[in-house]
């Protein structure tokens, strides 16, 4: 009987947290703000030891609600993209007010 009650309570909480606007933020805190220059490539000041310029940006994929960090390297002389690092998903932390 306790197991049935626990499952019922769990289902209730999941439904409340997913369908009541603001319930998750009130209970667990709001997500930290997105970076300022979202979607803009930011260049490093100086080339790396191999002569490539590092560029990075943050993208927010709204459909999947995730923040992605992308890095690419350009040739300093030609401006051609030489290599691209794998995307990294950044887990946003919850911030309490």
Residue ranges per structural domain of the chain: 1-31, 32-97
Q: CA 10, CA 12: separation in Å to the nearest integer? A: 5
Q: What is the mean pLDDT of residues 17-40?
A: 84
- Beta-strand relationship, 52-61 and 66-75: antiparallel
pLDDT above 90 (res 41): yes
pLDDT above 80 (res 96): no
Q: Do residues 86 and 71 touch, judged by C-beta distance below 8 A?
A: no
Length of the chain, please? 97
Q: Which comes out higher in pLDDT, residue 50 or 60?
A: 60
Q: Which comes out higher in pLDDT, residue 87 or 23?
A: 87
For the whole model, what pTM was predicted?
0.70
């Amino acid at each position: 009987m306790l197991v049935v009650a626990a499952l019922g309570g769990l289902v209730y909480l999941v439904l409340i947290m997913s369908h009541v606007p603001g319930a998750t933020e009130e209970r667990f805190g709001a997500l930290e703000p997105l970076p300022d220059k979202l979607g803009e490539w930011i260049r490093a000041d100086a080339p790396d030891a191999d002569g490539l310029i590092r560029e990075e940006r943050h993208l927010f994929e709204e459909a999947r609600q995730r923040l992605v960090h992308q890095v690419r390297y350009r040739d300093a002389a030609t401006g051609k993209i030489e290599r691209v690092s794998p995307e990294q998903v950044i887990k946003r932390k919850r911030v309490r007010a």
